[in-house]
A and B are shown apart, each in its own frame.
Chain A
Amino acid sequence: MIPEIGHYALILALSLAIIQAVIPLAGTYTNTHSWMALSRPLVWGHLLFLTISTVVLANAFLANDFSVIYVAQHGNTKLPDLYKVSAVWGAHEGSLLLWAFLLAAWSAAIALFSRNLPLPVVARVLSVMGMISIGFLLFLLMTSNPFDRTFPVPFEGRELNPMLQDPGLAIHPPLLYMGYVGFSVAFAFSIAALLGGKLDASWARWSRPWTTVAWVFLTVGIALGSWWAYYELGWGGWWFWDPVENASLMPWLVGTALMHSLAVTEKRGAFKSWTVLLALFAFSLSLLGTFLVRSGVLTSVHSFASDPERGVFILIFLLVAIGGSLMLYAWRAPYISGGGRFDLISRETFLLGNNLLLSVLAGLILLGTLAPLIYDAMEWGKISVGFPWFNKMFVLLTPFLALLMGVGSISRWKHTDAAFLVKQLKVAFIISMVFGLLTLLPMFSGGNLMVGLGMGLAMWVVTSHLVNVKERLKHKAGFNGFLRDLSGGGRSYYGMILAHMGVAMFIVGVTMVSNYGIEQDIRMSPGDTADIAGYEFKFEGVSEFPGPNYNAHRGRFLISKDGEQIAILQPEKRTYFVQTRPMTEAGIDWGLTRDLYVSLGESLGGGDWSMRLYYKPYIRWIWIASIFMGLGGLLAISDRRYRTARKRSRSTSTLTAGSSTTAATESHS
């Protein structure tokens, strides 16, 4: 009976979503205040029913209700409770439910934090959110109902994929989805603005914090996925250019471009139509990403078995969402007024450069990801794009991004003197060049140009931003001045600095690990030692070890450097009872400057095992970088500007709203 409540709640949520999409929007045309005012309560109802659905599904897992097919396929009585809950989003149906739930949650957040927005804007934005929700709920109910029952009821569930039984992966999908879904807010604001015909600085100011929050979630979500792949897959890599990884990277790149472009639109009123276009694309790519994973059309580690009915629905949904929004854009964008003028050397130009590079990069990744589909459809053969190509594209474009980053953030809006830039950045440039060249010396990289380039660029990002901070604090009194700035209106500025430092760390991590990482597949007998990068790995043998829902072979390695023991690693090879598949759990000794990593291969008889040993210098920096970026984003949205802006817009709206319907609502609410 209880699962039917979940199903029923899903249907009710759909009904509310339909009303939410239609009535308030209609109200904005007929200027019917009560229709527009309906949007907020509808959103709350919508969220309530989706919460019920999600809780019911989680409860079905916790209660081992195997009469529900989805639970029977992914649940198990022996599964630890944490993984019973995370099994809710462990496969197709449930992860779509999570999507729909998060979408409702974002809508509710808009309803909550938009008290100072004019009612018609709120009504339009929430209508658009409702439309997106209709798509997802229809998809759930028509093709992927997580509450479908099965009879006879199985005695035991088939359990969650063992790969996914990991704390990192329990929270990776929700974070990633928060990012994906979060871009729907910027999308909805843009569509609302196109519908309302009012694209101005305040539109950009409203969109900015939402976009940044979504971006923070996406950044951390992607990094978490990369970290998980690193330690769980046992391949020691942190990025595989897998279609699904690409699917999350594309919205990230476009979202990053959007954040920067929104800054220009807010501050200078320029790039309006470009910003709108980016907002449309960021969300379209999120949709594409979600469905690329779900449809199983591409060979990927993440793919689930495909179903033609779903494929058709997905295609129609994508066409309507992306095609519809682009048509609206084509129709309304010509009426968007151009923004402020700017000179060739100005912050606007550099940000435009940043936007173009990020978009081109996203476009190239899209090409590489979809090429197999295109080739197949054209019957040109079955292909895949090797990951050397993706690496090449990345290395081709990111240096320019890093260069622009240093120049752009110190330039002034509208016009900057070339002489000023040279004066400011001269020292930073020389230091970076020297640093880059130093790394080419025989005792460091011995002429590896990639290392020189990477380290030089990282140094450039750091030093150019240091100069930037120094310039800002020039007229402020020392450390106290800095603190006052930080507690005052400087937070978005320091957020930017922090996030850009993250980029520098990322460059260091990638450069070091891809140039100095060592990987070795070997066969070892108990007592054997192997030497990698000055570390001695002593294999002590493998013993059996029982886990809660698996059996493990656990290896034991003593790691020593210069004769001194520094770590014991215990990689495991697990065999899960239910799905009877082997799983590798790597043994990792982590450190800020290097990871030592062992994963077990197979038993070769007589106590011998094949295994893979790695030395991964600076790989942690890649993930720490994402934390810096995330913190930078959070610091930026805590800026006082957004709060005072809110207060200001509230007071002006009450002042000017005397005759309009808005006044009534403002005073009501």
Chain B
Amino acid sequence: MNPIRKKRLYLIGMMVAGIGVAAWLALNAFDENLMFFFSPSEIAEGKAPTGHPFRVGGLVSNNSVKRKPDGLTTAFDVTDNAETVTVEYTGILPDLFREGQGIVALGQLNESGIFVASEVLAKHDENYMPPEVADSLKTAHDEGVNEMQQQVSVQ
């Protein structure tokens, strides 16, 4: 093999190895950091993991926002109009957080089925609904309609 070829081979070898290692590390870490989204209905069905963080989203139920005596912890219900999950968050809520607003919360379920959030996101455009939330609302709505239709046909 002539020396230029050899050098080029070294170079390519190093590049491939480098990129390979980087890609391997990246994909490994990727799986750990994936956060799945579950709607309140899916949580009620027991689909959501316990002890592993995930995201939940829906509308903040009316008259459900309660503040704990420390003034910083807030508990509120998030609903997809079918099921509801209680979320607890300590800290300052985003400006656009309010009852009836679509939000996404990040955190984990504790033993008593309360979702302890580490982050609450409310979007900056009040007409904007996070796509996941819009989807889960639609699913819950469709299922509700189906159920009603089935009931009607049974009758």
Please determine whether B92 and A610 come into contact, CB atoms closer than 8 angstroms. Answer: yes
Please determine whether A356 and B19 come into contact, CB atoms closer than 8 angstroms. Answer: yes
Is B124's beta carbon under 8 Å from chain A?
Answer: yes
Chain B residues within 8 Å of A301, by CB: 123-124
Chain B residues within 8 Å of A384, by CB: 34-35, 37, 55
Is A645's beta carbon under 8 Å from chain B?
Answer: no
Is A94's beta carbon under 8 Å from chain B?
Answer: no
Please determine whether B95 and A234 come into contact, CB atoms closer than 8 angstroms. Answer: yes
Q: Which of B23, B29, B32 has the largest count of A CB atoms less than 10 A from its CB?
A: B29
Cross-interface CB contact of A385 among B18, B33, B70, cutoff 8 Å:
B33
Cross-interface CB contact of B125 among A304, A349, A612, cutoff 8 Å:
A304
Segment of B108-116, B130-138, B144-152 engaged in the interface with chain A: B130-138
Is B127's beta carbon under 8 Å from chain A?
Answer: yes
Closest A residue to B4 by beta carbon equals A341
Q: What number of A residues sit within 8 Å (CB to CB) of B?
A: 51
Please determine whether A521 and B22 come into contact, CB atoms closer than 8 angstroms. Answer: no
Distance in angstroms between the alpha carbons of A612 and B72 in the assembled complex: 11
Please determine whether B72 and A383 come into contact, CB atoms closer than 8 angstroms. Answer: no
Cross-interface CB contact of B10 among A234, A344, A604, cutoff 8 Å:
A344
Is B141's beta carbon under 8 Å from chain A?
Answer: no
Please determine whether A383 and B125 come into contact, CB atoms closer than 8 angstroms. Answer: no
Chain B residues within 8 Å of A343, by CB: 7
Is A601's beta carbon under 8 Å from chain B?
Answer: yes
Is A581's beta carbon under 8 Å from chain B?
Answer: yes
Closest B residue to A582 by beta carbon equals B95
Chain B residues within 8 Å of A383, by CB: 34-37
B82-101 residues at the A interface, CB under 8 angstroms:
90-93, 95-96
Distance in angstroms between the alpha carbons of A368 and B36 in the assembled complex: 14
B51-98 residues at the A interface, CB under 8 angstroms:
53, 55, 67, 70-72, 90-93, 95-96
A127-172 residues at the B interface, CB under 8 angstroms:
161, 163
Q: Which of B10, B71, B91 has the largest count of A CB atoms less than 10 A from its CB?
A: B71
Is A212's beta carbon under 8 Å from chain B?
Answer: no
Is B1's beta carbon under 8 Å from chain A?
Answer: no
Please determine whether A393 and B95 come into contact, CB atoms closer than 8 angstroms. Answer: no
Please determine whether B131 and A299 come into contact, CB atoms closer than 8 angstroms. Answer: yes
A463-481 residues at the B interface, CB under 8 angstroms:
none
Cross-interface CB contact of A344 among B7, B18, B36, B72, cutoff 8 Å:
B7
Distance in angstroms between the alpha carbons of A234 and B96 in the assembled complex: 12
Closest A residue to B126 by beta carbon equals A581
A344-389 residues at the B interface, CB under 8 angstroms:
344, 349, 352, 356, 360, 364, 367-368, 371, 381-386, 388-389
Chain A residues within 8 Å of B90, by CB: 521
Interface string of B2-19 (1 = CB under 8 A from A): 001001001100010011
Distance in angstroms between the alpha carbons of A368 and B27 in the assembled complex: 10
Q: What number of B residues sit within 8 Å (CB to CB) of A?
A: 42
How near does chain A come to B88, taking the closest CB pair, in angstroms? 14
Is B104's beta carbon under 8 Å from chain A?
Answer: yes
Taking chain A's interface residues, is the majority helix, strand, or loop, or is none over half, making it mixed?
mixed
Distance in angstroms between the alpha carbons of A459 and B151 in the assembled complex: 73
Is A37's beta carbon under 8 Å from chain B?
Answer: no
Is B25's beta carbon under 8 Å from chain A?
Answer: yes
Is A303's beta carbon under 8 Å from chain B?
Answer: yes
Distance in angstroms between the alpha carbons of A393 and B26 in the assembled complex: 7
Please determine whether A523 and B7 come into contact, CB atoms closer than 8 angstroms. Answer: no
Is A417's beta carbon under 8 Å from chain B?
Answer: no
Distance in angstroms between the alpha carbons of A64 and B152 in the assembled complex: 53
With A383-B34, A383-B36, A582-B95 as contacts: A608 and B71 at CB distance below 8 Å:
yes
Please determine whether B72 and A579 come into contact, CB atoms closer than 8 angstroms. Answer: no
Please determine whether A303 and B123 come into contact, CB atoms closer than 8 angstroms. Answer: yes
Closest B residue to A397 by beta carbon equals B22
With A385-B34, A521-B91, A601-B93 as contacts: A610 and B123 at CB distance below 8 Å:
no
A373-416 residues at the B interface, CB under 8 angstroms:
381-386, 388-389, 392-393, 396-397
Please determine whether B34 and A305 come into contact, CB atoms closer than 8 angstroms. Answer: no
With A393-B26, A521-B72, A602-B93 as contacts: A382 and B124 at CB distance below 8 Å:
no
Chain A residues within 8 Å of B26, by CB: 364, 367, 393, 396
Distance in angstroms between the alpha carbons of A383 and B33 in the assembled complex: 10
Distance in angstroms between the alpha carbons of A501 and B70 in the assembled complex: 47
Cross-interface CB contact of A523 among B29, B72, B93, cutoff 8 Å:
B72
With A608-B71, A610-B71 as contacts: A382 and B7 at CB distance below 8 Å:
no
Chain A residues within 8 Å of B36, by CB: 381-383
Chain A residues within 8 Å of B104, by CB: 299
Is A584's beta carbon under 8 Å from chain B?
Answer: yes
A–B Cβ pairs within 8 angstroms, 30 of them: A161-B125, A298-B131, A299-B104, A301-B123, A301-B124, A303-B123, A305-B127, A344-B7, A344-B10, A344-B11, A360-B19, A382-B36, A382-B37, A385-B30, A385-B33, A385-B34, A386-B34, A389-B32, A392-B33, A396-B26, A397-B22, A521-B72, A522-B72, A523-B70, A582-B95, A582-B96, A583-B95, A601-B92, A604-B67, A611-B92
Binding site for A on B (CB under 8 A): 4, 7, 10-11, 15, 18-19, 22-23, 25-26, 29-30, 32-37, 53, 55, 67, 70-72, 90-93, 95-96, 104, 123-128, 130-132, 135
Q: Identify 9 new A-B residue pairs, CB closer than 8 A, beyond the known A305-B125, A604-B67.
A: A296-B131, A299-B123, A360-B22, A371-B30, A381-B36, A383-B34, A383-B35, A386-B53, A611-B92
